[in-house]
Structure 1
Amino acid sequence: MSGATLAAGPRVPKAGHESHGEKFTKKAGDTAGLGGVMGSLRVVELQLVAFIVVFSASGLVPVVDLLFPVFISIYAFLLNSTVFRSYGKPESLQVFKGNRLFQLYVVFGTVIGLFLPLAYVLGGFARGDQMAVRAATPHLFLLSFQVLSENLISGLSIFSLPVRALLPILYSMRRLFSLTGWVTSTFFLTKLPPDPSFQDEAWIWFGRVLSATNAVYYTINLFAFLIPMFLPRAFERYFQERDHYKAEHPPKEKKPNQPLPTPSAPQDKKEH
């Protein structure tokens, strides 16, 4: 969700007999992708599709956010087919190899960005707090779409590295606007009742801390990881793969046009 799934490269099987013993060499446990945190890729995709359908049908997501994934998907396909064509093999698309600290970083982002906001939205439905639900749902919708896109792209390896790097950046930039609206709602628009109970105060502060933590985390993730670290490495690796591909597949030289042979003059017949 933070771009780590795409940064770590796709899951590809080993060649030969090792593919039976170890199905995948680029597991999320090694790459800090979301798949290692949430389990099977297909199960994650089904859950995210269910979230997206529910959020879309609830009427709580603005039209701009509903159309944003469609625009980004079309834009990514156009970039991949016209500007940044894929040259490398799936196993060469790894940009980072995550260590334990990187894994903790992704796990923390998964918990505060997906699990706790989902609990917050469900709690808002249970409490009848429509303002809390409406404020948190856009971020959760966009993040669910981003995670689904990252998992699909990482599993299918159909996009080149620059496109894979730009997707989480674009999603993160859009989600910062949603997070700003969530923070504004929890800190400035939500008011405590005249005689609040402990549960009321705890609920309000839970929303404030959760929204602020998400805003800080994804701001740091965008401006300290994706843009200065992930994006340059992705472009560097892409140009290396492109140069290597062109070196192995040089363009065929066209043979110079040879002049057509002139027909020989007919011999004069001997006079008898």
Structure 2
Amino acid sequence: MSGGVGPCSDIRLPHEEEDAKTSHDTSFSKSGQKPHAPKSLLTLRQLNVLAVIVVLAASGMVSATDFAFVIFSFIYMAFLSKVAFPALSPSTEPPVFGQNNRVLGLYVTFAAVIGLFLPIAYIFEGIVEGDKEGIKAAAPHVFLLASQVFMEGVTFRDCFSLPIRVFVPVIYNSIRIFSIMDWLSSEFSKVKDEYGGSARRLYVGRGLAIANMALWCFNLFGFLLPVYLPKAFKIYYSKLLKKN
């Protein structure tokens, strides 16, 4: 579902969730021992979204404000992990949700398609059709979502606790809603007679922006804040009390 469903990120696909859990959940459930650190610095998923980040950054379609936000989020995340929410032993921090949740897996796949894959396809088609306004409007959302996925991959290491894993999707989801609002405004301000692209692209862009607004508003206000955040904090503080 949304960020932090166990070690499952906002848009992580089911097979990626299983790979990410191998060293953490298996060790916890079977041996109770501390899982081994990841062998590679970056996962394949992180490398893929990093490529998206670099391409969009090089295109000049991402504002300095978005860059500054990503840098700030990393610094503040590191600050919180040291000052407010230090990591507990990995063996005492089980995932918030089980890894065999089929409904969750379907939602993750749906979110990946609507939130990332279709907007990327929309941007590439816009390059072909010369729809510079559409590309520029959709790019910030894709950039921030790709950055969120990358940062979530960083937090699923032993040095970060559950509250930090909550922090990343909540803050990124909140900021992305504003970028989607700008996307919606841009799409509905287009005039047919003056619009350079096809009519089909005009309606697809509007529908895609609306779908993302609905999806991520539900993700933040219907899942992250009322469901995932309380569960994650309850687990963290209960384990912290037992540890002390």
Pick closer, same or farther for the CA change 1:181–1:151 going to 2, 3 Å. same
How far apart are the structure 2 equivalents of 1:171 and 1:239?
Answer: 24
Instruction: Give a deviation string over 1:98-138, Cα, whole Å, max 9, x none.
Output: 52111111111000000000000001111110000000000
Partner of 2:241: 243
Partner of 1:78: 79
Match of 2:136 among 117, 134, 137: 134
Q: Which entry has the higher C-alpha Rg, 1 or 2?
A: 1
Of 137-146 and 78-87, the range deviating more from structure 2: 78-87
Query: Where do residues 171-186 of structure 1 align in structure 2 (5 Å cutoff)?
Result: 171-186=172-187
Q: Is the 8 A contact 1:61 1:138 kept in 2?
A: yes
Match of 1:152 among 132, 151, 154: 154
Mind listing any 5+ residue stretches in structure 2 that lack a counterpart? 9-16, 36-41
The CA deviation at 1:217 is 0.4
Q: Is the 8 A contact 1:55 1:141 kept in 2?
A: yes
The CA deviation at 1:7 is 5.3
SS of the aligned residue for 2:61 comes to: coil
How far apart are the structure 1 equivalents of 2:220 and 2:145?
Answer: 14
Instruction: Give a deviation string over 1:178-224, Cα, whole Å, max 9, x none.
Output: 0000011111x212137x99x81211010000000000000000001
Q: Is the 8 A contact 2:61 2:136 kept in 1?
A: yes
The CA deviation at 1:11 is 2.0
Mind listing any 5+ residue stretches in structure 1 that lack a counterpart? 25-40, 247-272
How far apart are the structure 2 equivalents of 1:87 and 1:44?
Answer: 26
Query: Where do residues 40-119 of structure 1 align in structure 2 (5 Å cutoff)?
Result: 42-89=43-90, 92-97=93-98, 99-119=101-121
TM-score normalised according to structure 2 size: 0.83
The aligned amino acid for 1:137 is: A
Instruction: Give a deviation string over 1:132-174, Cα, whole Å, max 9, x none.
Output: 00000000000000011112322x2321111111110000000
The aligned amino acid for 1:126 is: V
Of 120-129 and 95-104, the range deviating more from structure 2: 95-104
The aligned amino acid for 2:184 is: V
Does 1:121 pair with 2:123? yes
Partner of 2:38: none
How far apart are the structure 2 equivalents of 1:238 and 1:202?
Answer: 49
How far apart are the structure 2 equivalents of 1:89 and 1:51?
Answer: 31
CA-based RMSD? 2.5
Pick closer, same or farther for the CA change 1:151–1:5 going to 2, 3 Å. farther
Pick closer, same or farther for the CA change 1:231–1:83 going to 2, 3 Å. same
Q: Is the 8 A contact 1:6 1:164 kept in 2?
A: no
How far apart are the structure 1 equivalents of 2:94 and 2:71?
Answer: 25
How far apart are the structure 2 equivalents of 1:147 and 1:6?
Answer: 14
